[in-house]
Amino acid sequence: MSQNPSSPWIKSTCAYCGVGCGIEAKPQRDGTLSVRGDNDHPANWGKLCSKGMALGETVTTTGRLLQPHIAGNQCDWSQAIATVANQFTKTIAEHGPDSVAFYLSGQLLTEDYYVANKLMKGFIGSGNVDTNSRLCMSSSVAGHKRAFGNDSVPGCYQDLESADAIVLVGSNLAWCHPILFQRIKQAKQQHPNKKLIIIDPRATASSADADLHLAIKPGSDVLLFNGLFKYLHDHGHTNSDYINQHTQGFAANLASVADLGDLQALSQQLQISQADLLTFYQTFANTDKVTTLYSQGVNQSSQGTDKVNSIINCHLITAKVGRSGANPFSITGQPNAMGGREVGGLANTLAAHLEFNNDKHQQLVSEFWQTDNLATRPGLKAVEMFDAIAKGKIKAVWIMATNPAVSLPDSDFIQQALAQCPFVVVSDCIANTDTGKLADVQLPAQGWSEKSGTVTNSERRISRQRRLTVSPGEARPDWWIITEVAKKMGFAQAFSYRHEADIFREYAALTAAAHRAFNTDLNLSGLAEINDHQYSNMPPQQWPVTHLQTEVSHQHLLSDGQFYTANGKANIIPVRHIPSPQAVTKRYPLLLNNGRIRDQWHTMTRTGLSVTLSSHQAEPLLLINPADAASYHLTEGMIAQINSHQSQRAVMMRVSLSNQVSPGQVFAPIHWNNSNSAAAKIATLGQSITDPVSGQPEMKHTPVAITPFVSRSQAILISRQPLVFANLPDSPEYWIQQTIAGGYRYMMASSVDVAALCENLRQLQPQSSSAQQSMQQSEQQVRFIMTDQQRIEFAFTCATDLDVSQYDWFSLLLTQTSTAPEKLQQSLSSVLSDQPQGELCHGKIVCACKQVGINQIHDAIADQQLSDVAGISRCTQAGTGCGSCVSELQQILAEQHSKVSAY
């Protein structure tokens, strides 16, 4: 990579999770982007997790949507804008404003979100604008509003350092919000008495570092926290002054927990030991500074809002709210879920934390936007919205920066709904998402590194996302696309912005007006009149912002005990445990939980492009307890078929035996979809059961049945080009695509025999008159390789049974080029003999500069008994080049040592 000394490091924000880490990026002469952590950003103070570190790898034109398309045909922007505007206008004229909808995303910037919401609620006159954040944290929003009167997150990340006990509920923070977890770990090292308590039915990377792990029965969080509420009361740990002065509803919830049994009965219901339960309750009761972090494991539930309130209730009665180290703290999943909440991206709010159910709020927004067509009632929430599409009530939908055909539960139904919708518009930077394939109009949006605007993280900190690279093709900012359509629909006066700074100032001014009139928590008055230069250079701002913050601010909300309810008191909401409506049955006897893996993000449209991130876990793994695996005749590495009441066809994943999941439960990752797998889209299994208050779907509690897939052949294949299996006469029932250096690797299993599968696979090889082919064949195994111009193009090995873990070296084959003929020869021999030779024995490359593979590093650590990265570098030269692999070396060292100590 050639450095470009003239270009400075540009500060921006990571594209992925709600931690909102600051990055610095520098475009390189070869078109790549170098990325490092921003030492000045208070979310991460210079650190990045593996996803953040690999951001530069995902800046590529591979798979990009580069031009607008109408009905699959390329067109120019004016045609595309006119088509969208005309079709929406026509649909509204014929069927009314509620016949159209926008489905947005926590990946959009606040400025994009703001104008989309303004167009739909302010000028089209419908509330039908919702977001994929509905799937992420809408239960937390609803819980905050019920308890505090506003969607107020009282905490700051500094609480992770200042708390004496951290309770982590329904979150594998170590993988899903890694930088926050690193902050907790570091704080624990500095203060060994700090306690970390994990509440999660599954053992995870997070629970490995915990003082206490409560693997409660799935879905029983309300029971646990109601038990805590009762314990705090019964043992005199409540704060009566605070309860009397600042809350209401205490007696009502006391009544609702009165019939909970004693600790023994409760621990039995929760399926944990009484001693562990008591330790948790005593720790919470006796520790002044407790911060409870919660995430999707709490939110994605048919009782998600009650779960949130059961947690907040315990904090309220002990006055653990709004103080340093003492807060309930919802951690958002997406980079700008919080920004969406601020501007009204959810169908049931107006904008700037103003509500539909208040005439004065409506009046303020109408006057501010100068519209007489403001929507006067909430629109349809995500699941309802797609139901309405399926029923034909919504006839035109515009989906921006999200992939609901993969991410919403019962995704086959979602796909069918979109397929039959009269008009579907999809704005995305990626061309062939599962949703994009169903679009009538595709609009090329800018990618993360091209966009400019703001995002807000989980601690209310607004950070600038800055433009780092030029946009390829015809890609445009989302806010530009939306405002162009708005102008074409006749709303030019309200949508004529010069650039994103204009939009931001208008949004900040709306919050200021709302705060002045109604004392709302969200107040950006200090940013309403910043000039373009100040906007461009704006350092992170934590709201409320009454003046442009030039120093890092760490403010808590609700510190004065004043809440945003009518009388200023917080509501203690009476809640009772309600078992999930989805119970296991004889037919579906296992409970499926799902979540993220460390190095992938959402539907993999971006992280799936990274060779580094894709090497962490090449295939989706179904974690199953060994006892259950034996019952269902599954062994390690086998392919399992997973069915639910909902699924029209089985999901297929490779089995991994694990004691992390309890008997009766299984766990699967959420990321794979129809673009990179035959049948690994986990959302096809879920039912659209939602929380009655928030509308958030229950995603983590699905009864399933599991059977082995009996294959007659399996294969590993590499190709420089992505492959299309659909047209094969016998497409393998199981295939997974993995991005590797130079192309793609595929893992496959099929019900046809080896000869038939080979015949199929050979049809996928690229056509070239100069190609050379070599093959080794027996009844049990066929090895095939195709080269062209002294370069490997395509190769596979196919057998009745394959141990995929032995074929990491296939990932390196495409890097063997004509500039090194001996490497090519070694590769040919390796494939044909089924034995890696030369550098291929080294395993996947960890140090790119010195070409050091993982097997070499493992051998050096074991043979030389190495205990630090310096030793690895001394023995193998790994890490002595650019140094970017040093953190990976550290990780390998730690993993190898932990394996040794586990034995």
Instruction: Name the site residues for ligand SF4 (rule: CB under 6 A).
Output: 14, 16-17, 19-21, 44, 48-49, 51-52, 177-179
The DSSP bridge pattern shows strands 791-799 and 713-719 to be antiparallel
Cα–Cα distance measured from residue 487 to residue 57, given in angstroms and rounded to the nearest whole number: 37
Single-letter amino acid code for the residue at 87 = Q
Single-letter amino acid code for the residue at 478 = D
Given the complex with ligand SF4, which of 21 and 584 has the nearer CB atom? 21
Given the complex with ligand SF4, which of 13 and 305 has the nearer CB atom? 13
Could you tell me the smallest distance in angstroms from the CB atom of residue 870 to ligand SF4? 26
Q: What is the DSSP string of 182-221?
A: HHHHHHHHH-TT-EEEEE-SS--TTGGG-SEEE-PPTT-H
Cα–Cα distance measured from residue 494 to residue 122, given in angstroms and rounded to the nearest whole number: 10
User: DSSP strand E in 386-452: where?
Assistant: 396-400, 423-428, 441-444
Contact, 44 vs 460, CB < 8 A? no
Given the complex with ligand SF4, which of 17 and 685 has the nearer CB atom? 17
Given the complex with ligand SF4, which of 20 and 304 has the nearer CB atom? 20
Could you tell me the smallest distance in angstroms from the CB atom of residue 8 to ligand SF4? 21
Nearest to 158 by CA among 326, 312, 332: 326
Given the complex with ligand SF4, which of 18 and 328 has the nearer CB atom? 18
Q: What is the DSSP string of 563-617?
A: -SSTTSPEE---------S----SSS-EEEEEE--TT--TTSTTGGG-HHHHTT-
Could you tell me the smallest distance in angstroms from the CB atom of residue 37 to ligand SF4? 8
Could you tell me the smallest distance in angstroms from the CB atom of residue 523 to ligand SF4? 25
Handedness of CA 197, 201, 206, 208 (dihedral sign): positive
Could you tell me the smallest distance in angstroms from the CB atom of residue 891 to ligand SF4? 14
Q: What is the DSSP string of 239-275?
A: -HHHHHHHEE-HHHHHHHHTT---HHHHHHHHTS-HH
Could you tell me the smallest distance in angstroms from the CB atom of residue 180 to ligand SF4? 7
Could you tell me the smallest distance in angstroms from the CB atom of residue 35 to ligand SF4? 9
The overall longest dimension of the chain from CA atoms, in Å, is: 85
Cα–Cα distance measured from residue 775 to residue 797, given in angstroms and rounded to the nearest whole number: 10
Given the complex with ligand SF4, which of 178 and 539 has the nearer CB atom? 178
Residue that the structure tokens 């500039």 belong to: 819
Could you tell me the smallest distance in angstroms from the CB atom of residue 49 to ligand SF4? 3
Given the complex with ligand SF4, which of 177 and 361 has the nearer CB atom? 177
Could you tell me the smallest distance in angstroms from the CB atom of residue 260 to ligand SF4? 37
Could you tell me the smallest distance in angstroms from the CB atom of residue 16 to ligand SF4? 3
Given the complex with ligand SF4, which of 455 and 514 has the nearer CB atom? 455
Could you tell me the smallest distance in angstroms from the CB atom of residue 155 to ligand SF4? 17
Reduced to 3 states, what is the DSSP secondary structure of residue 474?
coil
Could you tell me the smallest distance in angstroms from the CB atom of residue 133 to ligand SF4? 16
| C-alpha angle 30-35-40 in degrees, rounded to nearest 5 | 145
Given the complex with ligand SF4, which of 38 and 428 has the nearer CB atom? 38
Given the complex with ligand SF4, which of 21 and 804 has the nearer CB atom? 21
Could you tell me the smallest distance in angstroms from the CB atom of residue 23 to ligand SF4? 7
Contact, 287 vs 319, CB < 8 A? no
Given the complex with ligand SF4, which of 14 and 116 has the nearer CB atom? 14
DSSP letter at 705 equals E
Q: Helices (H) and strands (E) in the chain — how many of each? A: 29, 34
Given the complex with ligand SF4, which of 98 and 599 has the nearer CB atom? 599
Q: Which phi-psi region, left, alpha or beta, contains residue 437 (left: φ > 0; alpha: ψ -120 to 50)?
A: alpha
Cα–Cα distance measured from residue 572 to residue 254, given in angstroms and rounded to the nearest whole number: 10
DSSP letter at 288 equals S
Nearest to 415 by CA among 433, 430, 427: 433
Cβ neighbours of 844 (radius 10 Å): 17
Given the complex with ligand SF4, which of 174 and 761 has the nearer CB atom? 174
Could you tell me the smallest distance in angstroms from the CB atom of residue 9 to ligand SF4? 16
Contact, 705 vs 645, CB < 8 A? no
Cα–Cα distance measured from residue 524 to residue 461, given in angstroms and rounded to the nearest whole number: 11
The residue with its CB nearest to ligand SF4 is 52
Could you tell me the smallest distance in angstroms from the CB atom of residue 41 to ligand SF4? 10
Cα–Cα distance measured from residue 173 to residue 179, given in angstroms and rounded to the nearest whole number: 9
Given the complex with ligand SF4, which of 68 and 178 has the nearer CB atom? 178
Write down how long the chain is.
Answer: 903
Reduced to 3 states, what is the DSSP secondary structure of residue 695?
coil
Given the complex with ligand SF4, which of 320 and 460 has the nearer CB atom? 460
Nearest to 119 by CA among 88, 147, 144: 88
